[in-house]
């Protein structure tokens, strides 16, 4: 059991800093306390691993921003889709030849 500076059982947290992305450490369980205990769980990573993780994090964040933007605009695109369907339906109905409509209605009865 690892105990922090203020005497509580330390908890395992994950660092997301640029120097130690994804590296686990022991920290104080009290959020925002003045106890600045830090004990590394994982060994430090080589520079190349850090660069790769940071690159992947940037990609994930970029994809997340695109998804958020799409979800934000989705209701607007649904409205556009409905409008396009209504316009297409009206166009089809108004462009039909009256004799075609007559033959269609006569074929079912």
Residues that bind Zn ion (CB under 5 A): 4, 6, 28, 35
Smallest separation, CB 13 to Zn ion (Å): 12
* Cβ at position 40, least distance to Zn ion in Å: 16
- 37 closest CA partner among 27, 46, 50: 27
**21 vs 26 by CB, closer to Zn ion:** 26
Q: Is the separation of the CB atoms in 2 and 39 below 8 Å?
A: yes
Integer Cα distance of 10 and 77 in angstroms: 49
Closest CA to 22 of 51, 1, 2: 51
The residue among 23 and 28 lying less far from Zn ion, judged by its C-beta, is 28
Which lies closer to Zn ion via its Cβ, residue 3 or residue 52?
Answer: 3
């Amino acid at each position: 059991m690892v105990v922090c500076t203020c005497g509580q059982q330390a908890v395992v947290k994950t660092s997301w800093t640029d120097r130690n992305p994804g590296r686990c450490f022991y920290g104080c369980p009290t959020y925002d306390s003045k106890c600045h205990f830090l004990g590394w769980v994982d060994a430090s990573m080589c520079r190349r691993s850090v660069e790769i993780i940071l690159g992947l994090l940037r990609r994930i964040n970029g994809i997340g921003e695109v998804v958020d933007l799409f979800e934000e605009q989705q209701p607007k695109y649904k409205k556009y889709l409905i409008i396009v369907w209504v316009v297409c339906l009206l166009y089809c109905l108004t462009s039909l030849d009256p004799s075609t409509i007559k033959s269609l209605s006569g074929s079912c009865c």
